[in-house]
Structure 1
Amino acid sequence: MENQTLPYGLGALWAGSGARYSWKGICGCLTKLNKIKKRPHEIYWWQGLDDSKILMKWNSMLVADSGARTMGGYAEARTPAKEVEFVDTNPEFKAIYPFPVIGIFGKGWDDLKTLTDEFMTVAKEKTNASRRVIVSNITDFFEDFEKNHGSTLPNYSASFGNEWDLYTASITEVSARVRRSVEKLRPAEAMATLVSLQRPEFMNGRTEVRDQAWMNLGLYWEHNWTSDGHWVTRQERNEWGRRMADGVANYVDGLHGDAAFALGGLIQKSGVHRRFYVFNPLSWVRSDASEIPYDGPAEVHVVDLATGEDVPFELVTPLSDDRFPRKTLRVHAAALPPLGYKVYEIRPGAGKAFPNAAEYANGVLENATHRVTVEPRGAISSLIDKTKANREFAGKTSQRQINDLGAEDGHLELEHSGPVSVTLRATGAGPLKHRTRVTLYRNSPRIDIRNEILQNFGGTHTWSFAFNLTNPDMRHEEAGAIIRAKYLADGGHYSPDMSRLEWLTLNHFADMSGEDGAGVTLSNADCAFMRLGTSDILDNQSRLDTKTPQIQVLAGGQIDGPKAGIAKQGGDSYFLQRFSLRTHSGYDAATAMKFSLEHQNPSVAGWVRGGTAYPEQTYSAVTLSNPNVVLWSLKPAEEGIGNGVIARLWNLSSAPQDYSVSLAGGIQSGRQTTHIETDLGDLPVSNGAVAMKAAATQIHTIRLRPAGTRR
């Protein structure tokens, strides 16, 4: 409500949660859009990429200075008698809305509380021989409309970009903290599931803080980051938002820490040497650099118990100016099982020697797959893929390159070199004081970037990612959908009208490919918005630049300030903004998403304390048959593990897919549910697995009851 824009993927998420209808009314205030322009449709079937549908009422706002208290606003029924006459007599409204069933919703406007019997009075007074006025519960309008006119409506899908959404970038580090907490919930809930299956009481006592965290998530993103109210100051809104973020982090951090510790007490252990597990929260086999706090001797070697072989490891000593310094042991954990773990043992004495993960000389990092040139300020001026005939992927646009905050000088040094990883550290003073680390890993094509802005700022700043690509084509994860950054008429997903497209949503990844298919996937862990090329808005009309091979990631800014958002980042002077790069020969949605999830969901390491529930060497909790489908999350049911395990799965293919899911101990029963865990119907179980059919890009939520459990 109120915000003038709307994401593409939200409709499919709502439909998957059981919603059938939606009404949207805008404010028509604090906007760069033409608020009285006719919308594409007044009422339509909002169709998702998965072919799901929601009946959407989103009327054009025809009265300019109404304060949203007219049709198309969020308080259409603020003056109900007046509005009944408007819809019945206004020729412009009647021309664009030809239906005899009209819904007028929203009374309270900006009032703290609204109690009224005005609707009943107006309904009686305004009913006459030619019209009937009904006091509606909103649902009855949609049911009536669907029955009598639903078959005549068009299907329509488009993203309208971002407007008020952007104001969360005015307090960008706090917004990033909330984002990190949501991502951290994936391994936390996965480990909590494994623990709860053995210790059903594990989640007891967490309901209140969990529910409050859930409320905080909704409240944090609520539209009042406009921060322009009469009764709540910007500073009060700033402080309140931080409390919301703290509530989310407190729950997630507590669950993650408790589950990781408890899991270590469930894994069998023999012998006298220290052991640690490395847990993979993702649903496919992966290799990762995993680390654990370590204060033991340096003269050791590390053994993978599943293979019996020495593995590459390194001891990482933090620098004195690190924000949270700690000494760690970092290991190359190869072939980690899906949603499972491997166990490693630390043994005394030197073991097998391994070469460094990459070589470094004169600003150039090089491993088996890439040669990367890093400038003293932390920008990447050359990105060569050695597996693709030494193709150069780095470009330059307006004197800015890859991971480029601005053309100022800096200082570059080798921070760390070992058999698992090699890291360069750059420090720059402008345009903002910052520190950048670029890391290459053993046997990995991933190029990790860790940026830290080390001062407060009040302007708008971006990290440029300029690529050497011709006729670029960008796809990116929006909200619940992976969409193409072009206009509808050009085969994309963006509306050319009533949209703000200078800052697009950047969730887990954006991928830019050239006309030959080759391109770069950009994984984004902390930021939320990006500018495609030189996209802008002028005279209420957005211009989406699809020709310039550049992504500008919004580091932070008070967009539409000074009237909207929080000034000077609410006083923050530290900002963590991490990215990763992967070059490729052709775009694939599942591959791009898996790459970004691996970057943003590091494996979890914990000490093995000994138990009886899980195997000593390795374990995998879930088997998923189709590589185009990813397990988005695995968690204990909301009502408790006695009500099963909830699995959320996303078909990342643009075509329908068949797949099956099984648990390590077998499945007793399965049910399809909504995303809010309302059961829809039983699923057949065959040979211990549940078979599913997913529409293109569809997200499923299912309830699985492991074999041997009781209700």
Structure 2
Amino acid sequence: MPYNKKKMYVYIQNVIDKVNKAMYEKVAELDAVAWITKEPIPFHERCNGEEKQVRIGETWGQLWDCGWFNFTGEVPKTQKGQKIVLLIDVNGEGCVFDKEGCPIRGLTNISSSFDFSLGKPGKKVVQFLENAEGGEKIDIWIETGCNDLFGRYSKEGTLEEACVAVCNQEMRALYYDFQVLYELMSQLPDSESRHMSILYKLDEATKVLKDYTEEEAVKARKILMSELNKKGGDPSLTVSAIGHAHIDLAWLWPIRETIRKGARTFSTVLEMMERYPDYIFGASQPQLYAWMKERYPSLYKKIEQRIKEERWEVQGAMWVEPDTNISGGEALIRQVVYGKRFFREEFGKDMKILWLPDVFGYTGSLPQILKKSGVDYFMTIKLSWSEINQFPHHTFNWQGIDGTKILCHMPPEGTYNSSASPQAVKKTEAQYLDKGVSDNCLMLFGIGDGGGGPGAEHLERLERVKNLNGLSPVVQESSLDFFKRIDKDSHKYKTWNGELYLEKHQGTFTSQAKNKKYNRKMEIMLRELELSSMLAQINAQMVYPQQEIEEIWKEVLLYQFHDILPGSSIKRVYDESLNRYQVLMNKTQEMIQKSLEAVADNIDTHGIDNPHMVFNSLSWERKEWLKVKDDWQYLSVPPMGYSVVDEKEKDDISDKLVVKEDCLENELIKLQFNDDGTIKSIYDKEYQREVIQDGVEANVLAVYDDQGDAWDFDINYDERPFDSFQLRSRENYIDGPKAIMKQVYNLGESKLIQKVILTKDSRRIDFKTEVQWQESNKMLRTSFPVDVYATDATCDIQFGTIKRPLNRNTSWESAKYEICAHKWVDISQRDYGVALMNDCKYGYKVLENTIDLNLLRSTNYPGVNADKGKHEFTYSLYPHNGDYVTGEVAKRADELNIPLNCIEVNSSKDQLPKTKAFIEILDGDVVIESVKRAEDDNDIIVRLYENNSSSVNAQIFFNFDVKSVQLVDMMEENSSDIPIEKGIVNLRFKPFEIHTLKVNI
């Protein structure tokens, strides 16, 4: 008679389900009283909310409500000698606290949304008694949130379960024996003898199970041991497993809930470590640890102890896991500086790994930033999400735009939520693209995104699969040990050059435009604050506000988290962050003003009526028109310095400016408008050529249908008809040195006012725009088809530039239909080019000879009514001679973003001259990115970089007393002396190289 394997599979699965149900036997109910509040309250105030007796099936709260539950009861006397647990499910997240108010165990509702192919996220079992006497009183407190792991209102916030149960330990062990073997068998072809051997042992074990008693479970386990004890041979691949709980600091929940998620997750980890001695866990993000230290100090001490024991690995070299497309260069450095310093000061750990599993693409500037910060390795997963092309490696060397290399690894399973099951191990084996070259890879197991981390099921599986015949061996260890091991063969791995572009989530370059604008402005203002504070310390003996600046920086870095800055969080996150941004901006501006006033009041202003100091923070001389009070003046301001001016008005300000009904003109450029407000011609008078492609309109304010979410929009959006803002009125006028065409448009309920501005003696055409945006599922873009031929565009990124293709010849080029750039994108041929600049935008499309800028997206998930309301922004077209270097595009874009600062001088102490450059680049075209006080002393840190892809010998002049200068890394360590003579330092730069100087004064 033939074997009916199909029926055997079905029967075994049914038995596994029955074993699962037999693990816990409910023996008594718990009483539940809850105190409900809208926001979290601490343990010692837990009875201050609305008191409510809650029964099974009753609703206890609305979405985002908070509660303190007191569960009480008694262990039945009949359960003497049994292992007792509590089964609690509030259809939300919870955390058990001890009597001193320390979190001891996180809980998650079984109905929580999750990818069930990776396992079930629910955690409802609370360990209570190993060996009951019977009659023990139960009195526990649980802090709850009426939301599941992913911010969903689950089952109307009802109390699902609250009971005392006996844990049938042999039945529980049998369940995992069955589960692991059945899943291993399922991963093997039925033609393999291992498959059949497991099948028959599973079938034999099911035959001893009738009443599902502990005695039957013991017999069944003995049968299965023969298969579980079969070990693997000499491995070709070893999988390094580390417990993980990727916790988004905000996403489908507000930041305040993340803090509680941290406590739930970390307390669960600690409880699991007591039960599973092989368990190694790792968590990143110093911000999260800082919250634990502040809110849960007793929990934090327990974490410290596990870190000392090397059971808990602190991971990641950055303050948070930030977006690296949009965050500025100096911000990325500060992420590392503050992140590494925290882990060093708190735990004595020098972080060697950048840990960014879930970030939406990686700038080509990162390798140099990491290496010059003492970070040697990089771990991510997200590139496995690319939709068109498969990234060719899991273990590789990544080479940045300056030539710096860093060793990278991506766990082949393609998730940081591994189930640690046979299926996960087999998937890892099958998908590892570099197996054979490398015989090691990572697997990150546990419940992530919403936190929670590994559960007992993960660790039970790992005990069984660590050396199980049919699978690659799995070892629990730290990720640092793993990286050190694979580093020995780094010369064997292939190299990937340039950025790591994610072929997905390109909508995040634009979504939530207000947050992106605030981020750009705050990065600039912090630069201004540090420089002005440093100058006030040198010249006016003001105390440098180190602590205040660090606090502001850290909050800005928090909002650069990869689900906040990209725009992929719920509305509440942006309501709260926008309010905080405004507070930070006001505070920063006040501090800048105070510092500059201190400098200004030390200037010799004798002979000048109503003097004003005009301050230039950029590292080159600026010649610009500026309105000083009510008078326009053409000023020359030295680099990193100031000039003093009075209010005397200049003659002939508006000569050679022309405004007509359809035309603007200055000495260099002539614009002609169509009747609908678009531009039909931009003529370069100096070089006698047309800037815009003949017969094609420019600056069409196109509104495309956008049915995407905050992350993504349709790759073919531009192949469908679009709407345009309709011109309703137009006026032109001259304001001092500016010729202005003001045009008013509307579309539906939305209104747009745009001033097109030509300034005397300037090639830059500004489009100063104000929008009352009321559209849903729409995307606003502008485009400029330029009369220039090239094969690629040059794009501004952190500490340099990158080339992006202008064609779609290959699938790799087609995948980059939307790209991220910072202040400008340029298309140039050898003799002429055109750049499109902006003051707060990041999403571009470059195709053939057109530069297209994404201005606004109004999506409805996860943030509803995203970006509806008022927006103000400026983009600028800049035609120029030669390529972007000859045309000094980067300088003009910085000038657009960083205006001159005018300060009224109230007194004169005659200590400073009427004009002065404090730091000046005498030779070599390099950029001073930041000037700040050193982290650990009163020395000055000056960060510079080469921005034109050239090797240069630069001369830097310090126009104040300097004792010595050292070249240091970005952590302001590993110094080497640099000769200084008459205030001048000579420094060699490779293309896009960043140098950090430590200046002793």
Contact 2:793 2:826 survives alignment (8 Å): yes
Question: 1:654 Cα shift?
Answer: 1.9
2:634 equivalent in structure 1: 332
Tell me how far apart the structure 1 counterparts of residues 934 and 910 of structure 2 sit (CA, whole Å).
21
SS, match of residue 672 in structure 1: strand
Q: Deviations over 1:216-257 (max 9, x none)?
A: 33434422578888xxxx332332332453354244323323
Partner of 2:823: 508
- Closer, same or farther in 2 for the Cα pair 1:351/1:50, shift >3 Å? closer
Query: Which of 801, 804, 808 is 1:482 aligned to?
Result: 801
Task: Tell me the residue number matched to 2:369.
Answer: 13
Deviation at 1:371, TM superposition (A): 1.1
For 1:660, the equivalent position in structure 2 comes to: 955
* 1:552 equivalent in alignment to 2:855: no
Counterpart pick for 1:126 among 449, 466, 475: 466
Q: Is the 8 A contact 2:512 2:566 kept in 1?
A: no
Q: How does 1:689-700 map to 2 (within 5 A)?
A: 689-700=984-995
Question: In the alignment, what sits opposite 2:691?
Answer: 393
Q: What is residue 574 of structure 1 aligned with on the other side?
A: 870
1:85–1:55 CA distance, 2 compared to 1 (3 A): same
Q: 1:530 aligns with which of 833, 844, 855?
A: 844
Partner of 1:408: 726
1:581, 1:226 → 2: CA distance? 25
Say yes or no: does 1:435 pair with 2:759: no
Which residue identity is paired with 1:685? I
Superposed CA deviations along residues 602-633 of structure 1, whole A, max 9, x for unmatched, are 11111112243742410110121334211122
| 1:395-447 deviation digits (Å, cap 9, x = unpaired) | 378x64136443633322224332x3332222122474211112222322222
Question: Which letter maps to 2:821?
Answer: L
Q: Distance in 2 between matches of 1:227 and 1:362?
A: 40
- Segments of 5+ residues of structure 1 without an aligned counterpart are 61-70, 295-314, 316-328, 534-546, 707-711
Question: Retained in 1: the 8 A contact 2:376–2:407?
Answer: yes
Is the Cα–Cα contact under 8 Å of residues 605 and 644 in structure 2 kept in the other structure?
no
Partner of 1:301: none
- TM-aligned CA distance change 1:158 to 1:97, over 3 Å: farther
**Which of 895, 920, 931 is the equivalent residue of 1:598?**
895
Return the alpha-carbon distance in structure 1 between the equivalents of residues 807 and 394 of structure 2: 18
CA distance in 2, matches of 1:236, 1:519: 43
| Cα separation, 2, equivalents of 1:5 and 1:670 | 36
TM-score (structure 1 length as normaliser): 0.78
Q: Tell me how far apart the structure 1 counterparts of residues 478 and 733 of structure 2 sit (CA, whole Å).
A: 63
Task: Report the 3-state secondary structure (helix = DSSP H, G, I; strand = E; otherwise coil) of the residue aligned with 2:866.
Answer: helix
Contact 2:508 2:568 in 1 (8 A): no
Whether contact under 8 Å (1:25, 1:75) holds in the other structure is no
Question: Residues 477 and 351 (structure 1 numbering): CA distance in 2 closer, same or farther, change over 3 Å?
Answer: closer
Aligned to 1:618: 915
Change over 3 Å in CA distance of 1:351–1:587 after alignment to 2: closer
Listed as ranges, the matches of 1:208-287 within 5 Å are 208=548, 210-223=550-563, 234-246=570-582, 248-271=584-607, 273-287=609-623
- Residue 395 of structure 2 aligns with which residue? 43
Amino acid at match of 2:395: I
Would you say 1:587 and 2:902 are equivalent positions? no
Query: Shift of residue 281 of structure 1?
Result: 1.0
Contact 2:614–2:901 at 8 Å: present in 1 too? yes
String of CA shifts for 1:342-376, please: whole Å, max 9, x gaps: 111236xx875555362222322222111122456
Q: Distance in 2 between matches of 1:377 and 1:202?
A: 56
Q: Does 1:633 align with 2:930?
A: yes
CA distance in 2, matches of 1:611, 1:666: 22
Counterpart of 2:449 (choices 110, 127, 135) is: 110
Question: Would the alpha carbon gap of residues 371 and 226 (structure 1) be closer, same or farther in structure 2, given more than 3 Å must change?
Answer: closer
- RMSD between superposed Cα atoms in Å: 3.4
Deviation string, structure 1 residues 644-687 (Cα, Å, up to 9, x no partner) = 22211120132322212221014322222333444543333344
Partners of 1:670 and 1:119 in 2: CA distance: 53
SS of residue paired to 1:700: strand
Q: 2:774 aligned to 448, 456, 466, which one? A: 456
Q: Does 1:607 align with 2:893?
A: no
- Kindly indicate whether structure 1 or structure 2 has the higher relative contact order, using CA contacts under 8 Å at least 6 residues apart: 1
Conserved in 2, the CA contact under 8 Å of 1:410 and 1:427?
yes
Over residues 176-224 of structure 1, what are the superposed CA-to-partner deviations in whole Å (9 max), with x where a residue is unaligned? 12212212333333222211213444333x6246424423334344225
The 1-side partners of 2:597 and 2:755 are apart by 30
The alignment partner of 2:588 has SS state of helix
Structure 2 matches for 1:20-419, cutoff 5 A? 20-26=376-382, 33=387, 38-60=390-412, 71-76=413-418, 78-79=419-420, 83-84=424-425, 87=428, 90-93=429-432, 96=435, 98-105=437-444, 107-114=446-453, 122=462, 126-127=466-467, 133-147=474-488, 149-159=489-499, 160-161=501-502, 163-164=504-505, 166-167=507-508, 169-204=510-545, 207-208=547-548, 210-223=550-563, 234-246=570-582, 248-271=584-607, 273-292=609-628, 294=629, 315=630, 329-334=631-636, 336-346=637-647, 352=651, 354-356=653-655, 358-375=657-674, 378-388=677-687, 390-395=688-693, 400-402=697-699, 404-405=701-702, 406=724, 408-418=726-736
For residue 633 of structure 1, give the secondary structure of its aligned residue in structure 2: strand
Shift of 1:601: 1.2
Does the aligned pair in 2 maintain the 1:363–1:412 contact within 8 Å? no
1:643 aligns with 2:938: yes
Query: Any conservation in 2 of the 1:46–1:55 contact (CA below 8 Å)?
Result: yes
Q: For the residues of structure 2 that align with 1:435 and 1:92, how far apart are their CA atoms?
A: 53
CA distance in 1, matches of 2:460, 2:807: 44
Report the CA distance shift for 1:614/1:632 in structure 2 as closer, same or farther (over 3 A): farther
CA distance in 2, matches of 1:38, 1:371: 47
The 1:166–1:49 alpha-carbon spacing in structure 2 relative to 1, beyond 3 Å, is: same
CA gap of 1:123–1:4, structure 2 versus 1, over 3 A, is farther
> Do the aligned partners of 1:24 and 1:57 also contact (CA within 8 Å) in 2?
yes
Q: SS state of the match for residue 105, structure 1?
A: strand
Cα pair distance change 1:32/1:376, threshold 3 Å: farther
Counterpart of 2:316 in structure 1 is none
**Aligned-partner residue type, residue 486 of structure 2:** F
Unaligned runs of 5+ in 2: 1-356, 703-723
Partners of 2:639 and 2:608 in 1: CA distance:
28
Shift of 1:128: 8.0
May I ask how many residue pairs the two structures share in their alignment?
618
SS in 2 for 1:223: coil
Residue 277 of structure 1 aligns to which amino acid in structure 2? M
CA distance in 1, matches of 2:650, 2:634: 15
> What one-letter code is carried by the residue in structure 1 that aligns with 2:835?
T
Give the C-alpha shift of residue 32 in structure 1. Answer: 7.2
Asked which structure has the greater CA Rg, the reply is 2
Q: CA deviation at 1:596?
A: 0.7
SS in 1 for 2:805: coil
1:385 CA drift (Å): 0.8
CA distance in 1, matches of 2:566, 2:928: 36
- Relative to structure 1, is the Cα distance of residues 27 and 521 closer, same or farther in structure 2, using a 3 angstrom cutoff? closer
Counterpart code for 1:592: V
Aligned to 1:466: 785
